Chains A and B, each alone.
Chain A
Amino acid sequence: MPITDRIKTLREKSLNAKETLSSERAELLTAFYQQETGLLSTPVKRAKSFAYLLEHKHIEIYPGELMVGEKGPAPKTAPTFPELCCHSLSDLDILNSREKTSFHVEPATRRAYQETVIPFWQNKSMRELILNEMTEEWKAAYEAGIFTEFMEQRAPGHTVLDDKIYHKGMLDFQAEIDRRLSALDFLNDPEAYDKQEELRAMHIAAGALIRFGERYAQMAEEQAEAEADPLRRLELEKIASVCRHVPAHAPSDFHEALQYYWFVHLGVTTELNTWDAFCPGKLDQHLLQFYDLNKHGREYYEELLHSFWIKFNNQPAPPKVGVTAAESGTYTDFAQINIGGLRPDGSDGVNEVSYLLLDVIEEMRLLQPSSSVQVSKKNPDKFVRRAARIIRTGFGQPSIFNADLIVQELVRMGKDVTDARCGGSSGCVEVGAFGKEAYILTGYFNLPKVLELTLHSGIDPRTGRKLGLETGDPRTFTSFDELFAAFEQQVLHFVDIKVRGNNVIENLYAKYMPSPFLSLLTDDCIARGKDYHAGGARYNTSYIQGVGVGTMTDILSAIKKHIFEDKVMDMSALLSILASDFNGFERERQMLLNRTPRYGNDDDAADNLMVRVFEAYYNAVDGRRNMRGGEYHINLLPTTCHIYFGSVTGATADGRKAWTPLSEGVSPVQGADRNGPTAAARSVSKMDHARTGGTLLNQKFTPQVLANDEGLDKLVSLVRGYFKLDGHHIQFNVVDAETLKAAQANPGEYRSLIVRVAGYSDYFCDLSKTLQDEIIARTEHEGF
């Protein structure tokens, strides 16, 4: 259906608004903490601050809006979270002026920071607390770019909702909380008091959201009264009635369902700046019960969804600085909407709302929310083909996930099978049991850097600092296995350091930064009387995301072949060649590039090494206990971290020049896969995706390949084939290198060009030059 004029206007406004940093939340929070000096438990104080924010933040209903509510005081304004990361004035100046992903900072905002926010929060933020508690070796490894730390500027995230809000209002949550409070056993339960405070906090938080809805209801009523246009007046009255009803009560229609979710979304992302914002999960299944064509035409629902989509696009990710900005350099906040997949009973989850959502994605063509189709063998081809038609238009959405494998992954990690079927992917590719799991991404892990250290017996050649173990001079190694064993030791060493840090950070969040609102939404926090950050969720996972599998494989393959098998080069020659960054050694570089079995070509000589790298990393991480009663697992994805990690890693034996990007996700090194997408998919499928919490494969196609329906069908078959081989996720860029190069040269003419980066899409012109080059270098599959 054509987009209505008001949606066009709202969409344009969303696209054109400049991302702006808002000090409103920071100022309100400061005011609250300055006033509230009474004796309060930490959870209750946090809940009260949440209520204060929702009571006092600026609200507005914009002309033509059907869905209401913004995270900041206006669309595209980003609140800040000084209790987590208190930006300095120089941070603000950098945010304001940096070339990519900048945030406009008004002089008044800067002044508020200078006069109010910084003086209060300086030395009190979680960031400072965390960095203060980290060991010297953790800091050294962090600074060297061996791993990153997600919680350094943002709160634990990957929060996806299940279906509970569609049949429970906040009043129902409060009633449940009251029941739990009255059942507390102060005689026998040593944790009864802690539970009481947490439950009280949740109660306050639920009430705060109801009050937030009422504020909008009141505003809508006032606007309706003053409205001259009778149609708009009716709409405002509807908005008022929606906001009177939700979030207090369970929604009774489509409009209320969407608005309720949106209030909850704003609540979670106002309480803390959770990673990956917040996600509605399986929206098509949740909304189906409210979708009734007898009540309204399809276009009615479509327009509401358009409004809903624009709301997501209005929320840039919280402003990030330093390493966090480098590992996730994008405005995208990774809210991902799941479509299709399985129902809780394991049957085909595709319904008419699935197709409606796909239409909306195509019509809106917005970066946010990100969208994915969850493809099960039970889903019809028609559904996948519909998604492929959108992918063909070349904006990288929706991404495609293997729903059946995701169930396997979740069950392996200990979930009940029904909870697993209610799960899916979020963020980029990470899996979780929606509404029941706190699965926390803790940071990226730079595998090629660890190998670089191994080749220098624990010393970082970039700085000369000793960071790792003394695993021996590689020039004395007599076999490839000896080198690999040394690498495994180093991986274990750095994973130990990372996990130690994580465990402290988890404790700090549990102690100082409870999130009662998010907790009440997550099973079984109410039942356990425990916070989301303290193990209240039914499932509690910590992930560490490996980066550079492709680069690693090609490095090892080159060393194995040329040094240990063919012996055309020795280790000492290799080390000096790498130290010179191939200066004067172009012959050798070409040999390493072109005469090495490389990952991505269905060549077992290379792929078996990939499997060894996978197993080494898996063994180092999987199954360790975290502090919340759950376990560590791996996933393999980079966001933009392959650029950052590449920038700290010197030349590598796969012919890669120093400081250039690593391979992304589980994709082959850019340009190394030369036997077509099926061979690449086969290579990638040799790792056991079922033992991960998500992997990311990007493929690039020229538009010509998909120009006709036959090409489209073959793409669908490629996806189905990859999933039959138990691949987790695949995503396509449909754009040719020529277009990308033209966009690089004339960004002004290509402002709207959207590409797939890694697990999310972004405007090509908003990417760093290095990342642009990396995407151009990816292998372009044509039909043969």
Chain B
Amino acid sequence: MIFDIKKYSINDGPGIRTTVFFSGCPLSCLWCHNPESISFVPQLLHRQGRCLMCGACVEACPEGAIRLDFNTSNERTAESQNTMVPGAVLTDRQKCTRCQTCIATCYSGARQFSGREVTVQEVMEQVKREIPFYEESDGGVTFSGGEPLIQPGFLSELLVACREQEIHTAVDTSGFSNWNVFEKIRRNVDLFLYDLKLMDNARHKEVTGVPNPVILENLRKLVEYQHKVLVRIPLIPGINDDEENLVESAKFLASLPKLEGVELMGYHDIAQAKYEALSRDYKLAGTKPPTEEAMLRAAEFLKSYNLKIILR
């Protein structure tokens, strides 16, 4: 099950890539950019900005779970800054049975379900279309999510299919997985994009919902098996940008035999609109992206540990 395929993906590995986003993730990071991807259950997204407030979904819903609220102020939401019609559609997500009737009737496409079952063939059909661009740019496919390792069978088949087509593959992972899964797929992966969020276990658990020892251990093993690994650190103000965490991260990374590099990615708040579309609270609301200066400072710091830093 996937929730999206994005082409001309230029920030998830080398060259021009297609990123396949898997549904399902064992983590629940406060800053998650793809909150619709965490659950395996298809998630209803309602993008108010595109909504006509025409009421077609209200009429169509067999559960009576939807209503129009013309009194809701649009100012609150980022998504609705360009709203066509003022007001809001409110969906009682308890009542919703995910029958998708409202999706079929929505004229503007404001309502969508995220997450769909697809076959390996269907994914590959899309992936193969971009081969000329991979070839010209030394690009390929990135499997991301969600957490791709959570669907090991599907991921493994896709990796094999890519290998058959001689398409470069990257797997973007949180690393929170049983080593068996890595063992199953690692030989068909050309590059791992490996997230390193927080070094302190208790704090990691607090903000991602899972402990981190297994993540660190898997990372060490991958590197020891001489896989190409690009570590990615999302720099999130107030979460992991403190000096202690940077020191610990740097020490740990410097202790690994060989890395492709460390990508430092500044947090950004564009995911907020998605939280609104899912009618969920965004716990990091109000957190500002790190300043360029803060990014550079962190990069310089990490560099002092002889790490190859790439700024995003």
CA A679 – CA B135 in complex, angstroms?
A: 15
Q: Known contacts being A677-B8, A705-B10, A721-B16, is A586 close to B132, with CB within 8 Å?
A: no
Chain A residues with CB under 8 A of B132? 721, 724-725
Between-chain CB contacts (< 8 Å), 14 pairs? A588-B107, A675-B6, A676-B7, A678-B133, A679-B7, A679-B130, A714-B10, A714-B137, A721-B16, A781-B8, A783-B8, A784-B6, A784-B9, A784-B19
Q: Known contacts being A590-B107, A678-B130, A717-B15, is A724 close to B136, with CB within 8 Å?
A: yes
Would you call A595 and B8 a contact (CB within 8 A)?
A: no
Q: How many Å from the CB of B103 to the closest CB on chain A?
A: 10
A493 proximal to B (CB < 8 A): no
Q: 16 more A-B contacts (CB under 8 A) besides A595-B109, A676-B9, A705-B10?
A: A587-B56, A587-B107, A587-B108, A588-B107, A590-B52, A591-B107, A676-B7, A677-B8, A679-B8, A717-B136, A717-B139, A720-B136, A721-B132, A721-B137, A783-B8, A784-B12
A711 proximal to B (CB < 8 A): yes
A627 proximal to B (CB < 8 A): no
A110 proximal to B (CB < 8 A): no
Partner pick for A721 among B9, B12, B52, B133, CB 8 A cutoff: B133
A602 proximal to B (CB < 8 A): yes
B129 proximal to A (CB < 8 A): yes
CA A721 – CA B12 in complex, angstroms?
A: 19
Q: How many Å from the CB of A539 to the closest CB on chain B?
A: 32
Q: How many Å from the CB of A718 to the closest CB on chain B?
A: 7
B11 proximal to A (CB < 8 A): yes
Q: How many Å from the CB of A200 to the closest CB on chain B?
A: 55
Which B residue's beta carbon lies closest to that of A725?
A: B132
Contact flags B1-25 to A (C-beta < 8 A → 1, else 0): 0000011111110011001000000
Which A residue's beta carbon lies closest to that of B7?
A: A676
Contact flags B93-111 to A (C-beta < 8 A → 1, else 0): 0000000000000011100
Chain A residues with CB under 8 A of B109? 590, 594-595
A359 proximal to B (CB < 8 A): no
Chain A residues with CB under 8 A of B133? 678, 717-718, 721
Query: CB within 8 Å of B: which of A706-722?
Result: 710-711, 713-714, 717-718, 720-721
Chain B residues with CB under 8 A of A533? none
Chain B residues with CB under 8 A of A594? 50, 107-109
B123 proximal to A (CB < 8 A): no
Chain B residues with CB under 8 A of A711? 10
Q: Known contacts being A590-B107, A594-B109, is A713 close to B137, with CB within 8 Å?
A: yes
A682 proximal to B (CB < 8 A): yes
Partner pick for A784 among B8, B56, B137, CB 8 A cutoff: B8
CA A720 – CA B136 in complex, angstroms?
A: 6
Q: How many Å from the CB of B100 to the closest CB on chain A?
A: 14
CA A710 – CA B137 in complex, angstroms?
A: 10
Main secondary structure of the interface of A (DSSP, over half): helix
B54 proximal to A (CB < 8 A): yes
Which B residue's beta carbon lies closest to that of A594?
A: B109
Give the 7 A-B residue pairs with the shortest CB-CB distance, closest first.
Answer: A717-B137, A676-B8, A594-B109, A590-B108, A721-B133, A717-B136, A783-B10
CA A714 – CA B9 in complex, angstroms?
A: 10
Which A residue's beta carbon lies closest to that of B109?
A: A594
Chain A residues with CB under 8 A of B129? 602, 679, 682
Query: CB within 8 Å of A: which of B103-141?
Result: 107-109, 129-130, 132-133, 135-137, 139
Partner pick for A676 among B6, B50, B137, CB 8 A cutoff: B6
CA A665 – CA B226 in complex, angstroms?
A: 50
Q: Known contacts being A717-B16, A718-B16, A721-B16, is A678 close to B7, with CB within 8 Å?
A: yes
CA A720 – CA B132 in complex, angstroms?
A: 9
Would you call A784 and B16 a contact (CB within 8 A)?
A: no
CA A590 – CA B16 in complex, angstroms?
A: 32
Chain A residues with CB under 8 A of B136? 717-718, 720-721, 724
Query: CB within 8 Å of B: which of A585-600?
Result: 586-588, 590-591, 593-595
CA A460 – CA B12 in complex, angstroms?
A: 51
Q: How many A-B pairs fall under 8 Å by CB?
A: 84
CA A576 – CA B137 in complex, angstroms?
A: 49
Contact flags A342-385 to B (C-beta < 8 A → 1, else 0): 00000000000000000000000000000000000000000000
Chain B residues with CB under 8 A of A590? 52, 107-109
Chain B residues with CB under 8 A of A720? 136
CA A718 – CA B54 in complex, angstroms?
A: 41
Chain A residues with CB under 8 A of B8? 675-679, 718, 781, 783-784
Which A residue's beta carbon lies closest to that of B85?
A: A586
Q: How many Å from the CB of B98 to the closest CB on chain A?
A: 20
Contact flags A682-720 to B (C-beta < 8 A → 1, else 0): 100000000000000000000001000011011001101
Q: How many Å from the CB of B303 to the closest CB on chain A?
A: 18
CA A594 – CA B54 in complex, angstroms?
A: 15
Query: CB within 8 Å of A: which of B1-59?
Result: 6-12, 15-16, 19, 50, 52, 54, 56
CA A714 – CA B11 in complex, angstroms?
A: 11
Contact flags A6-27 to B (C-beta < 8 A → 1, else 0): 0000000000000000000000
Which B residue's beta carbon lies closest to that of A719?
A: B136
Which A residue's beta carbon lies closest to that of B51?
A: A590
Q: How many Å from the CB of B218 to the closest CB on chain A?
A: 26
Query: CB within 8 Å of B: which of A394-427?
Result: none
Would you call B10 and A784 a contact (CB within 8 A)?
A: yes
Which A residue's beta carbon lies closest to that of B108?
A: A590
Q: How many Å from the CB of A378 to the closest CB on chain B?
A: 15
CA A783 – CA B7 in complex, angstroms?
A: 9
Most buried by B among A595, A710, A784: A784
Most buried by A among B7, B9, B19, B109: B7
Chain B residues with CB under 8 A of A710? 10
CA A675 – CA B11 in complex, angstroms?
A: 15
Chain A residues with CB under 8 A of B15? 714, 717
Chain B residues with CB under 8 A of A591? 107-108
CA A678 – CA B10 in complex, angstroms?
A: 11
Most buried by B among A586, A713, A717: A717
Q: Known contacts being A590-B107, A590-B108, A718-B133, is A678 close to B11, with CB within 8 Å?
A: no
Contact flags A165-181 to B (C-beta < 8 A → 1, else 0): 00000000000000000
CA A721 – CA B7 in complex, angstroms?
A: 14
Contact flags A459-492 to B (C-beta < 8 A → 1, else 0): 0000000000000000000000000000000000
Which A residue's beta carbon lies closest to that of B131?
A: A721
CA A588 – CA B108 in complex, angstroms?
A: 9
Chain A residues with CB under 8 A of B56? 587
Q: Known contacts being A713-B137, A714-B15, is A595 close to B10, with CB within 8 Å?
A: no
CA A590 – CA B135 in complex, angstroms?
A: 38
CA A676 – CA B6 in complex, angstroms?
A: 8
Contact flags A248-277 to B (C-beta < 8 A → 1, else 0): 000000000000000000000000000000
Which A residue's beta carbon lies closest to that of B54?
A: A587
CA A675 – CA B6 in complex, angstroms?
A: 7
CA A679 – CA B130 in complex, angstroms?
A: 8
CA A783 – CA B107 in complex, angstroms?
A: 28
Chain B residues with CB under 8 A of A714? 10, 15-16, 137
CA A721 – CA B138 in complex, angstroms?
A: 11
Would you call A595 and B107 a contact (CB within 8 A)?
A: yes
Q: How many Å from the CB of A28 to the closest CB on chain B?
A: 55
Would you call B52 and A784 a contact (CB within 8 A)?
A: no
CA A682 – CA B132 in complex, angstroms?
A: 10
CA A693 – CA B231 in complex, angstroms?
A: 49
Q: How many Å from the CB of B245 to the closest CB on chain A?
A: 27
CA A675 – CA B5 in complex, angstroms?
A: 9
Query: CB within 8 Å of B: which of A107-151?
Result: none
CA A587 – CA B108 in complex, angstroms?
A: 7
Partner pick for B54 among A586, A713, A725, A781, CB 8 A cutoff: A586
Which A residue's beta carbon lies closest to that of B133?
A: A721
Would you call A783 and B52 a contact (CB within 8 A)?
A: no
CA A593 – CA B132 in complex, angstroms?
A: 30
Q: How many Å from the CB of A780 to the closest CB on chain B?
A: 13
Would you call B52 and A587 a contact (CB within 8 A)?
A: yes
Q: How many Å from the CB of A587 to the closest CB on chain B?
A: 4
